[in-house]
Amino acid sequence: MRSRPESSFFKDVAVTIWKYAIAPEQTRMEMEYLERTFGQPGGALLDICCGHGRHAIPLAANGHRVTAIDSSGDALAEARADGGATVDWQLRDMLDLPWESQFDGAYCFGNSFGYLDRDQLRRFLPAVARALRPGAKFVIETGMTAESILRLEHPGQRWFRAGDVFMLNQRRYDVAAGRLDIEYTFVSDGKIETRPLSSFTFTASETIRMHADAGLKLVQMLSSVQGEPYALGSGRLILVTERTL
User: Of 206, 47, 20, 209, which Cα lies nearest the Cα of 140?
Assistant: 47
Domain range annotation of the chain: 5-145+202-243, 148-199
pLDDT digits (tens, 9 = 90+) for 164-173: 888 888 888 8
* 161 band by pLDDT with thresholds 50, 70 and 90: confident
Instruction: Express each pLDDT in 176-229 by its tens digit.
Output: 999 999 899 989 888 898 988 899 999 999 999 999 999 999 999 999 999 999
User: φ and ψ at 55, to 5 degrees?
Assistant: -100, -40
Residue-level pLDDT at 1:
46
Classify residue 232 by burial, with Cβ atoms within 10 Å: 0-12, 13-18, 19+: exposed
The H-or-E segment that residue 209 falls in is helix 204-213
- What pTM was estimated for this model as a whole? 0.90
**Angle, in degrees to the nearest 10, between helices 118-131 and 204-213:** 50
Whole-number mean pLDDT of the chain? 90
Residues for the chain: how many in total? 245
- What's the rounded Cα separation, in Å, for the pair 79 and 68? 10
pLDDT-derived band of residue 53, with 50, 70 and 90 as boundaries? Answer: very high
Q: What CATH number labels 5-145+202-243?
A: 3.40.50.150
CATH of domain 148-199: 2.20.25.110
For residue 126, pLDDT beyond 50 = yes
pLDDT for 3 beyond 80:
no
Q: With helix as H, strand as E and coil as C, how does 11-71 read?
A: CCHHHHHHHCCCCHHHHHHHHHHHHHHHCCCCCEEEEECCCCCCCHHHHHHCCCEEEEEEC
Q: What is the mean pLDDT of residues 99-123?
A: 95
